[in-house]
Amino acid sequence: MSLRRKKGLPEPAAASPAAAGAHYASPNERYPKDRYKGDVQETARQRLVITAMLLVVAFTAIAMRMSYVSLLRGGEEPTERVAARGGPIQSERADIVDRNGIVLATSLPVVSAFVNPHLVIDPQDAARKIVSALPDLKYDEVKAKLESDKTFVWIKRGLSPREHDRVNRLGIPGLDFQAEERRIYPQGTTAAHVVGYASIDNTGLGGIERYFDRQLQSGQTVQLSLDLRLQRMVEDEIAHAVQKFSAIGAQAIVMDASNGEILALASLPTYDANKARTITNQALFNRATLGVYEQGSMFKVFNTALALDSGKVSLGDRFDASKPLKIDRFYIHDDPEVPHRVLSVPEIFKYSSNIGSAEMAVEVGTDLQRAFFDKIGFLKPLHTELMELGSPLYPRHWAKINTMTIAFGHGMSVTPLHVVMGVAAMINGGIEHWPTFLKRTAESDPGRRVIKVKTSMTMRQLMRLNAVEGTGKKADLKGYEVGGKTGTAEKVANGGYAKKALFSSFVGAFPMSDPKFVVLVSLDEPKGTKETGGYATGGMVAAPSVKVIIEDIVSLYGILPGDWNDRPASLEISSRPMPATGVRATPAAARGHRNEHKALPLRPGEQLAAPPGVRRASVE
């Protein structure tokens, strides 16, 4: 008998068999099969539902993206083409064409060879075979690609059909092909600086290709204002001039003065976008839009227009150019061929007098001069469809001495495209149009007035006078009323000027009774010849090329001399010597200019080593 029973206490309840033998129970008792079988099935069912939902979301996203792209492209379908392997591919990058629809840039279907090195059995043997089929590749480079740890390596992109056939016949495991597009430039080097070029992945890297990259990728064709026929003529002529005068480079522009369309633009040296790997930085440089230069006496077009338009100078005014003009410790000289006497405004323009131009600028004043160049867009980069645009350079502190030197094209640097745009505005009635490389409708750019109609009419007469009797006679073409202005500037070098390194230009226009075409040619560091008497000025080396280009224009478009007979005749401007009575003289010319610098007498032709902002006059 237990002690609890002796004391009259109840016995504790016996443990249940399950609890007592829990530690020793069999597996079947501990883990019922039916119960866990249901749990596993439920879990699998939940996973299937989740997976299905994720797939629905993914396909919905893809469908929405495809709908978005279709709407974004405005319903335009890309052209379907067939790859070399026979499979269809989509042409994503659209064409660039000239004003007449001739293709300047297009995309063609090609295939590219790639390899999965992990599938190559014998890299050395495979490399030898590939190089035998593609001789332009190097064995060591191909072998290194085949032995790499990557799963995808390009062997060569953009295979020709013949190359594709040779590589395909090798039968190398792991070597395959991918359909792609290759950008092709059918015209080669023609208009290269305008059209630009694209990368191997069809991304625009320069020119129109870069500016309209998104539009071209969306399948929208870009039509330019260039006329391919004229473009080739212009390039041929300046290439001839570079060779004849041993220049290091050249540029030329032809603009429609009535609306700002660029009909031709060339820069030498140039490049072939089909051979992108051979393009050098020197060849990429667009001298017409990116090059910033002191333009020399061509600036007298703007100085004269400003003086007349301001009302401070009239056509009949006279200025004393009988002796050098003193400014600070320097002197402004004229070329020995310029009459050293009193000159009228037409004579100052005709003979390209630096002294007379500087005196006219002083009459106008610094504030008006700066405001004028700002109004015509010479103090900022141009707005056009190229991204390779140079920023003008001008005095930070625009002092009187800057006003005088800028009058004849020194102390301020702009691009040749600035000059063409500005000259067009000076002669087309006073309306300035921003230059464009796109074919423009009449309503797309009404332009803005920058000078009076009367001033513009006078500038036509002065430019015509310069081509008939002045420094631009080598550009005159009988029967076509050519007008123009020369410009020769010494290039800046080592803080001064390189006396024999010239930037020689001529800007011409015709017909001056109703200007339609503006033509500018510039040669970089030309050398004089026996034919030019050793001179390499704009009138000697650039004006003849402008004449040839004008001949090309009238021949190309079938323009006859009689076509201008129904237009107002050019007015004659007297350029006979004027009497010395009533001559205007600036304070600097009459009394000299006092300052802390010592006067340094200079002879014509000597270089002015000047403080910042002071420029030596370049003469014609």
Catalytic residues: 297
182 forms bridges with which residues in the sheet? 108
Decide the pairing of beta strands 222-223 and 96-97: parallel
Omega before 173 within 30 of 0, i.e. cis: no
C-alpha span between 350 and 355 (Å, rounded): 13
Distance of CA 278 to the CA centre of its chain: 19
Largest Cα span, the chain: 160
| Whole-angstrom Cα Rg for the chain | 38
Count Cβ atoms below 10 Å from residue 133 Cβ, excluding itself.
Answer: 22
Question: Is there a contact between 452 and 430 (Cβ–Cβ < 8 Å)?
Answer: yes
> How many other β-carbons are positioned within 10 Å of the β-carbon of residue 250?
30
Amino acid at residue number 224: L
* Token couple for 590: 């009459």
Q: What is the DSSP letter of 86?
A: S
Residues 333, 604 contacting (CB under 8 angstroms): yes
Tokens of 198: 């694209």
Give the integer Cα–Cα distance in Å for 48 and 72.
36
**Tokens read off for 24:** 């020793």
**What interhelical angle do 543-556 and 228-244 show, nearest 10?**
160
